[in-house]
Amino acid sequence: MALHALRRQQRKNNFIDLPGYGTFINETKASLIAADAALIAVDAHVGAQVTTEKVWDFCTEYDIPRAFVLTWMDRELASFERSMESLEQVFGRNVVPLQLPIGSERGFRGVIDLVGMKAHMYTLGGDGNRKSSRFHKRWKKMRNKRMRSLWKWSAEGDDELMEEFFREGTIPIEDLIPGVRKAIVAEKIFPVLMVSSTLNVGTASLLTFLADVFPHPDEHAQEGFKEPGGKGDRVERKYDDGQPLSLFVFKTLADPFAGRINYFKVKSGVLKNDATLTDFTRGSQERFQHIQVVQGKQLTEVGDLHAGDIGAIAKIERSLYGRHAWRQSGAAFLQARSDS
C-alpha cells in the first residue's frame, strides 16, 4: 500500500495505491475499506483479468462506486475496443466509456471527452496538462453509439429528462454531467477512462473526472454508536470538519525502523495532534501523539488532520487495528472523548 495526497483546483484527493498482483490481493481488500471510490487499473493490451474481477467483487461487497482506467494505452497491441469488449463481457453493459482515444499504441496522444464534447491533446512525456480543442463532427456517430446507456442511466429517475431522451435521443450536456455523477455514485454505471502513465497522456482528464464526477465527500454518511462497544444511540457522521471527531484504523504495519505504524482515516471532525481518543472497540484511551501524513515513503508530522484525510501514527505499542469491529457495528472505531 502506498499513500499520496494531491491538491488540485482547490480540492484534495487522497489516493491509496493498492497492489493488483494476486499474492497481495488480501492486502488490497483490507485497505480498500478506507476508500470512498475505486479506480481499477486495467492493462489496455490485456483487458479484464482474474484480479480485476476480485477487486470488482470487493468493491461490490463494500458498496464502493468504481471506474476503470485503461493503462498502458501507448503499448503495442493496446486496444480501446478490445478492452471495452472484455470489460463489458465480464462486468456487463453498464460499463461505459466516458472517453475515446485519439491515436493508438505509440500514436496515443489524447482523449475525446464524450460527456463534455471536447478533445484533449497531450504532449508526450510532458507535464500531464492538456490542450483542449473542439469536438469534430466526424466523432458524433461514435459518440452516439457509445452514449446510449449513459444517457439512459443519467436520465433515470428524472421524468422530464427521460421524456427529452426519448424525444430527442440525447440529453443536453448541462443535464448530463449531474446525471452521470448520480449514476456513478449510485453504482448504476461504471465509467471507463484511459491513460498512458509513462507518457503522461490523459492525466489532467483523469484528475478532472475525479474532481467533477466521482462521489463528493459530503455524499458519504457513516452510521455509528455514541458509546464504545456498539452501545448508546445511533449517530450519523459525515466528512465534515464541524462534526465530532471519528476515525478508524484500517491497517497496522510493522516497520523495521519506525516500529508499529497505524494507518487511519478521519471520518468526521478534526483530529488535533496530542488528542486523547477513546478506542470504541476496547473502551480504552489512546493518545494520538505525532500524527503524520504519508506521501509515498515520506512521513511528515502535522498539527491536525481533517475529515476525509488519511493519517499515520507510530509509537503506539499495540495494534489499533479494528476493521472488523468497525464493519460489524458500523461504528466509527475511535471517537473523541469530548464527543457527546
Ligand X SMILES: Nc1nc2c(ncn2[C@@H]2O[C@H](COP(=O)(O)OP(=O)(O)OP(=O)(O)O)[C@@H](O)[C@H]2O)c(=O)[nH]1
Instruction: Please classify residue 289 by burial: count the beta carbons closer than 10 Å to its beta carbon, then call 0-12 exposed, 13-18 middle and 19+ buried.
Output: middle
Contact 21, 51 (CB under 8 A): yes
Q: Considering the complex, what minimum distance in angstroms separates the CB of residue 201 from ligand X?
A: 8
178 residue type, one letter: P
Nearer to ligand X by C-beta: 198 or 328?
198
Contact 321, 249 (CB under 8 A): yes
Instruction: Please give the torsion angle defined by the CA atoms of residues 315, 7, 244 and 264, in that order, rounded to the nearest 10 degrees.
Output: -30
Nearer to ligand X by C-beta: 60 or 198?
198
Q: Which residues of 44-60 are buried (b: 16+ CB within 10 A; e: fewer)?
A: bbbbbeebbebbbebbe
Quote the Cα angle for 285-239-189, to 5°.
130
Nearer to ligand X by C-beta: 21 or 166?
21
Nearer to ligand X by C-beta: 105 or 175?
105
Q: Which residues bind ligand X (CB under 6 A)?
A: 19-21, 71-72, 74-75, 196-198
Q: Considering the complex, what minimum distance in angstroms separates the CB of residue 319 from ligand X?
A: 25
> Is 330 in a helix, a strand, or coil?
coil
Residue with cell 500514436: 107
From the CB of residue 85, how many other CB atoms can be counted at a distance below 10 Å? 13
Beta strands in 50-171 (DSSP E): 66-71, 95-97, 99-102, 110-113, 118-122, 130-133
Q: Considering the complex, what minimum distance in angstroms separates the CB of residue 41 from ligand X?
A: 6
Nearer to ligand X by C-beta: 154 or 196?
196
Q: Considering the complex, what minimum distance in angstroms separates the CB of residue 193 from ligand X?
A: 13
Q: Considering the complex, what minimum distance in angstroms separates the CB of residue 16 from ligand X?
A: 12
Q: Considering the complex, what minimum distance in angstroms separates the CB of residue 234 from ligand X?
A: 39
Please say whether the dihedral angle defined by the alpha carbons of residues 143, 149, 155 and 160, taken in this order, is positive or negative. positive
C-alpha cell belonging to residue 180: 452521470
Q: Considering the complex, what minimum distance in angstroms separates the CB of residue 127 from ligand X?
A: 16
Nearer to ligand X by C-beta: 198 or 298?
198
Nearer to ligand X by C-beta: 124 or 293?
124
